[in-house]
Structure 1
Amino acid sequence: MSRKKGEKKAITKKLLHKYRLVILNEDTFEERLSFKLTRLNVFILVGISAIILIALTTLLIAFTPLREYIPGYSSAKLKLQAQQLLVKTDSLKTVIDVNEQQYASIRKVLTGDLKTIEFDKDSIENTSGVPNEITIQPSKEDSLLRATVEQQDKYNLFESASTPVDFALFPPVKGIISSGYDSELKHYAVDVVTEKDEPVKAAADGTIIFASWTADTGHVLIIEHANNLITVYKHNASLSKEQGDLVKAGEVIATVGNTGELTTGPHLHFELWNNGYPINPINYIDFK
């Protein structure tokens, strides 16, 4: 027991033993500075200095741009840029998907690779292929109810919002039809023979969704109209409009030509589509 106490006293004595640190002039040995130190003071001073150094280094890294030079550390600016690029990439992907769907539809229109259905020639609206409703003879009670409702609506101030709208198509060219619409032969158009370089006019108001050159049909122009209508003009000598242009009915959009491999002379290959289905143009347009 006394031995342990002696060891503790010896350690304490060493820690508290005083030393003098003297700084002398090397040439004159003149004393410049002197400090009284103990081992305990030195340990405490070194510990406090280490803590202060660690704290300053942490603050310097945390609140200055120096942290960006640490390997594996990503700055807030880089994270923001990465997030913005991710959003742009997602938006571009959506636009590309929409364009691919549109190009696929245009490709089907150009190649005519679509199934056909019979259309009602009296209405351009009835082109969805849905069968007509079955005609059922009304009962006596139903007839009386209809008469009552008609009498009440006779003085109704509010008109129905579903009134059908008339839609007229302008003839793109005038001439002789050399080849008519034939769904069995997949000729979903009429070929109108006319003089070369005759102006081709828009059949209705719309937007140019395709204006380019194809090997088979030459200069091709496609217009999207209201009521889900699309008109196609092929074998043109030249185009007066570009994709994205807005056109009015009767406005010149191209000139009649003989371009492309699938042609035998100057004429206009004209197609009319509604809701994705081809329609016989002569039912709605007078080309004479």
Structure 2
Amino acid sequence: MKFFTSKEVREKFYLKIKSKYRFVIMNNDTFEEKFSFRLSPLNIFVTIGSTVILLIIATTYIIAFTPLREYIPGYANVHIQEGFRSLKLKVDSIEETTKEKDLYIQNIKNIIQGSNIEENIPETYKNIQEENDLIKDKDKNKNIGIGENVNTNILAYLYFFKPVNGIISNFYNPSDNHYGIDIVTKQNEYVKSVLKGTVIFSDWTNDGGNVIIIQHEANILSVYKHNSMLLKKAGEYVEEGVPIAIVGNTGQITTGLHLHFELWYDSNPVNPQDYINFN
């Protein structure tokens, strides 16, 4: 048995992979040579290796620099990420807006019940407002004292109907928790809406008796208390000057036949005499 040295084995291997072969394609009937080329095991190895390397490079490029990577498990879609971020901002802003609405509704309940009004409105998420162009800054989100430092310029450009004919017996005094005026008038006098708007409350309360509240444009609210009869229901739309109730003397906090009238702007009470001529 013949043994080969390592050098002889290497030489034999090199000769084997460098050996030339001829690949021929022939016509089966005529044996005419149609196509042929020479190759060697080394050429085949180099060709296959180069192809694999090129495929790896191409796949890496596709994964790293083209949108096709989004179809590979584990890679998130950029548009989906942006969509989730946008939805998160909207949810946060809706949550904060809901809190403000809850505070607004609570203040309406306080007005109806004659309770103290929340003086401070919570700050909104300022960082969210900066990131989300759809979120607008609102002045009402600042800390505002009841009846103080309220920008009421818009009210000066509106024409308010007089709610009822009569004489003012008790004036606006927020320091004494009297957020409106009392108007003494004759019996069965109609109470009229000062502006067009939607009735948001029309019912009985212990302190105010028959109370009706109307939401107007520009975040204006008008309140009418101690009525003997309510002529409009919650949800109804009324025009300015339309009768909505009849003056009365209902409720626990009353001293006689009169209308207690309040005017609110941006969740803050304002003096009705500044904008309505009661003469």
- What's the TM-score bracket when you normalise by the shorter of the two chains? 0.5 to 0.7
- What amino acid is the match of 1:26? N
1:268–1:50 distance in 2 versus 1, CA, 3 Å? farther
Shift of 1:28: 3.3
Shift of 1:220: 2.0
- What amino acid is the match of 1:270? H
Hey, what's the Cα distance between the residues in 1 that align with 2:103 and 2:36? Answer: 88
CA contact (8 A) 2:199 2:232 kept: no
Q: Which residue of the partner structure matches residue 241 of structure 2?
A: 252
Residues 88-167 of structure 1 mapped to structure 2, 5 A cutoff: 88-114=90-116
Shift of 1:223: 6.9
Hey, what's the Cα distance between the residues in 2 that align with 1:199 and 1:16? Answer: 111
Hey, what's the Cα distance between the residues in 2 that align with 1:97 and 1:83? Answer: 21
Secondary structure of 1:252's counterpart equals: coil
- What amino acid is the match of 1:58? T
Hey, what's the Cα distance between the residues in 2 that align with 1:272 and 1:215? Answer: 16
Q: Aligned pair 1:195/2:185, yes or no?
A: no
Hey, what's the Cα distance between the residues in 2 that align with 1:20 and 1:286? Answer: 112
Hey, what's the Cα distance between the residues in 2 that align with 1:193 and 1:27? Answer: 124
CA contact (8 A) 1:20 1:37 kept: yes
The farther-off stretch of 31-40 and 86-95 is 86-95
Q: Which residue of the partner structure matches residue 232 of structure 2?
A: 238
1:277–1:46 distance in 2 versus 1, CA, 3 Å? closer
CA offsets, 1:110-138, max 9 Å, x none? 123349xxxxxxxxxxx99xxxxxxxxxx
1:3–1:207 distance in 2 versus 1, CA, 3 Å? farther
Q: Which residue of the partner structure matches residue 44 of structure 2?
A: 42
Hey, what's the Cα distance between the residues in 2 that align with 1:213 and 1:277? Answer: 18
Hey, what's the Cα distance between the residues in 1 that align with 2:74 and 2:196? Answer: 52
1:63–1:170 distance in 2 versus 1, CA, 3 Å? closer
The CA RMSD over aligned residues, in Å, is 5.3
Q: Which residue of the partner structure matches residue 59 of structure 1?
A: 61
Shift of 1:64: 4.2
1:80–1:277 distance in 2 versus 1, CA, 3 Å? closer
Q: Which residue of the partner structure matches residue 25 of structure 1?
A: 27
Match of 2:201 among 213, 232, 242: 213
CA offsets, 1:198-243, max 9 Å, x none? 24253xxx997x732344366722579xxxx97521453138x989
- What amino acid is the match of 1:106? I
1:97–1:193 distance in 2 versus 1, CA, 3 Å? farther
CA contact (8 A) 1:171 1:287 kept: yes
Q: Which residue of the partner structure matches residue 147 of structure 1?
A: none
Hey, what's the Cα distance between the residues in 2 that align with 1:21 and 1:5? Answer: 31
- Using the size of structure 2 for normalisation, the TM-score is 0.54
Flag the structure with larger Rg.
1
1:242–1:27 distance in 2 versus 1, CA, 3 Å? farther
1:212–1:223 distance in 2 versus 1, CA, 3 Å? closer
Hey, what's the Cα distance between the residues in 1 that align with 2:268 and 2:11? Answer: 106
Unaligned runs of 5+ in 2: 118-145, 148-159, 169-179
- What amino acid is the match of 1:23? I
Hey, what's the Cα distance between the residues in 2 that align with 1:41 and 1:99? Answer: 78
Pairs aligned (count): 217
Secondary structure of 1:51's counterpart equals: helix
Q: Aligned pair 1:270/2:264, yes or no?
A: no
1:40–1:277 distance in 2 versus 1, CA, 3 Å? closer
Match of 1:173 among 129, 146, 164: 164
CA contact (8 A) 2:188 2:247 kept: no
Q: Which residue of the partner structure matches residue 152 of structure 1?
A: none
Hey, what's the Cα distance between the residues in 2 that align with 1:253 and 1:268? Answer: 19
